[in-house]
Amino acid sequence: MFNHNTINMRNTNPFVVGIASVVAAVALLAGCTGNTPSSNSLTDTTMQLGWIANVENMGPYVALDKGYYKAEGLHTTIIPGGPSVTVEPLVVSGKALVGLGSTDTVAKAILQGAPIKIVAASLQKNPTSIMSLASAPVNTLKDMVGKRLCIQASGQDILKTVLAANKIDPNSVEFVPANFDPSPLVTGQCDAFTSFLNNQPITLAAQGVKTKTFPLSDYGYNVFSDVFIVSDSTLADTAKRAAVVKMISATARGWRSALDDTDSAASLMVSNYGKNQNLDLAQQKLGAKTYLDLVETDEVKEHGLLTMSDAAIKANIATLSSLGINITAATLFDTSLLADAKPVK
């Protein structure tokens, strides 16, 4: 039962694995923040994901697998997220050089004093969707009037303002607390389900549940998703900023390879980085394809992957403003790192 020797996949350094098993109080006393010492003259960098390892994060994982980070002189560790992940504090504290998060959360954090910026955007289109059963479809935002909507507590503010912006009384929709598990929709505890996961309709179809889905981006919710978050102190530090630029270049290459061959990317997630979850290959392959439209837009074809074009930034700021989040582009975004990175089209 006293198994201290389980290998921790995300820390390749045995020193850190050792520490992880030792009494927490020791760490407290030592003031250790978990920084991995440099190895082989590669710069150590950590990327904190927002969700568990599957095709949603295939870009970074393909980059890691194909050695794109190493080619940039980086030794990169990718840490999976989960339902209770705390990306922004990890970035602010420096435990993660780059974190992936959502634009509106970052904007709210900055307005509350978080010293962070968005420096690149993985998903140009927001994947947040309203999902309903095909047998009782909710096809438009207007259809939601008088219906019960399953939504995470964290998403309620956003949805209320999207409704209001579309001249629908937010009180005409009943909000039912839910999380990532779509079973309340299937069992009829609600009529529609707010899905933040792009591949959820596909995984549901695989279980024999047919759904109808429309994206909130059709109703003016135009904010980037899976954005690169870095701290202001990283941006002020020349060496760290350079490392972030390299991470952007390498991750863009990873996305390029993933999009060029989504099947291989899905296989990689199933056989390697997500192997502890026994992911279904067919579902991951289908799911991976849904990211093509979200990641590679016309603007990406023009400016390169992970881009944040002026037009898109304007749309982001306008959306946030409609949500009651008043922030300037200069406070939220720093596009200079993308300019320094190698564009990958």
Which of positions 159-188 make contact with another protein (CB under 8 A)?
Answer: 175-184, 186-188
Q: Where are the alpha helices (DSSP H) in the chain?
A: 14-21, 24-30, 58-65, 68-71, 87-93, 103-111, 156-165, 183-186, 200-206, 232-236, 238-260, 262-268, 281-289, 291-295, 298-303, 310-322, 329-332, 336-340
- Nearest CB to another protein, comparing residues 86 and 336: 86
The residue within the footprint of another protein, chosen from 31, 135, 298, 328 (CB under 8 A), is: 31
Specify the stretch interacting with another protein by CB under 8 A; choose among 16-24, 58-66, 128-136, 259-267: 16-24
Shorter beta-carbon distance to another protein: residue 139 or 179: 179
Residue from 42, 73, 115, 296 touching another protein (CB under 8 A): that is 115
Looking at this protein, which amino acid is placed at residue 281?
Answer: L
By CB under 8 A, what part of segment 207-226 binds another protein?
207-209
Q: Which is nearer to another protein, 197 or 338 (by Cβ)?
A: 197
> Measured in Å, how far apart are the chain's first and last C-alpha atoms?
51
Nearer to another protein, 168 or 186 (CB): 186
State the binding string over 124-153 for another protein (x if CB under 8 A, else -): ----------------------------xx
d(CA 200, CA 221): 19
Site for another protein in 39-78 (CB under 8 A): 48-49, 52-54
C-beta separation of 169 from 163 below 8 A: yes
Tell whether residue 238 is a contact of another protein (CB under 8 A): no
Residue from 161, 198, 200, 262 in contact with another protein (CB under 8 A): 200
Transcribe 20-73 into DSSP letters. HHS-HHHHHHHT---PPPPBTTBEEEEEE-SS-SSGGGHHHHHHHHTTHHHHTT
Residue number, 267 or 297, with CB nearest to another protein: 267
